[in-house]
Structure 1
């Protein structure tokens, strides 16, 4: 019981001592703060007196003068020692060494950076056609961004690119292309003699440059002695129309030269072999259809034909004959 009582007294003593020390420290901090505050107030009051201002001004001048002499001493010491270093050639060697070392570190770092990413080198796109440039950019796994402006260069020609050719960039980065819209007042070209495919490529370029869709509408086909089959004969609007007002280009396509027309003879009552020989000489294509009949005299003989006799058809057309076949 006595041991337990003495233990409680010891614990209580240490707790009391801890709090008494804490109170003393708090009072000491407060006292120091008050002393510093009084000192600041005293200096401020003294500074605005005539004697106080001159005292602190002289003190500042003295310290500034000391600093000036100290800097002068350091510069003289440096020049004195550096002259010896320069005369010995050590300084020049040190500078060259660090320059070479910096270049080596830069090249190594650059190579590591290039090899650590999927990078591509930008080719030259200026003066290329816009569709060719876009295909090449996409093949390099880059993203083309198209802008357009008026220029003396032809429609669809690249006049500026960023990044510039020779730069190395990561894949999936954007490549900006500025495309020529031609002169400020641009006109529609004459597409006569163009293929439909070539016109489609041209219209794609125009749509990219004008930033709106231009459609192609085929309104017919005609025979032509001038243009081969598949080439454009005429267009609407006509060449010279203002491009800014065009939404659709309508075209007429050539079917080639007009073929020679042949008057079809009457093949009724002839055998298949006889008809085949005549068809070959006429330059036609033969189609044979068999029709069942009870009349044995008409078996293997032409009963009917399409087109009929004396009609005119173009050379190379197909003619169908109906041949009798014994009824089963």
Structure 2
């Protein structure tokens, strides 16, 4: 006797068909499937078309439908960490957009779609991410600091949010102690508040 094709049929439909052929139906479990609706037969053994004797059992696996996964909270995570979390639970990174914002450090997730706690989504669904590029960096023109008093100038720069990272003291004939005799970046260069300023001061 030839084994009938049971794929896509309900257990009751398959059982009735097999009973008419003096065959039995044996359920071997439930597995998730995007192809078959929940409650439909997705696998059978022996396969359709095989030869089988009467009074034998056809073993089947029934679909539990698509596996639905809860979307995790990704806001505040780094992009790298968010992608890793998605991969671990069976979801994918979708579209990644970037904007400047002072609220989040650069590289951190600002928003996501679907949002965390939204209705569950199918396995392998994509989650779109909005990533911070940090605060827009304001550019300034480096002033000429040569011949200025070092102590007052350093204090002034610090008060404006700039960082003097390196101060070297050198003997310089004709200059009183504490006078700036060299600087980097040079006057006229473009700088930001993240730029590191180096000064050479007379001693």
- Structure with greater helix percent: 1
> Which has the larger Rg?
1
Bigger relative contact order, structure 1 or 2, given CA contacts below 8 A and separation 6+? Answer: 2
What range is the shorter-chain TM-score in?
Answer: 0.3 to 0.5
Q: Which has the higher strand share?
A: 2
TM-score (structure 1 length as normaliser)? 0.30
- The TM-score, its normalising length taken from structure 2, stands at 0.45
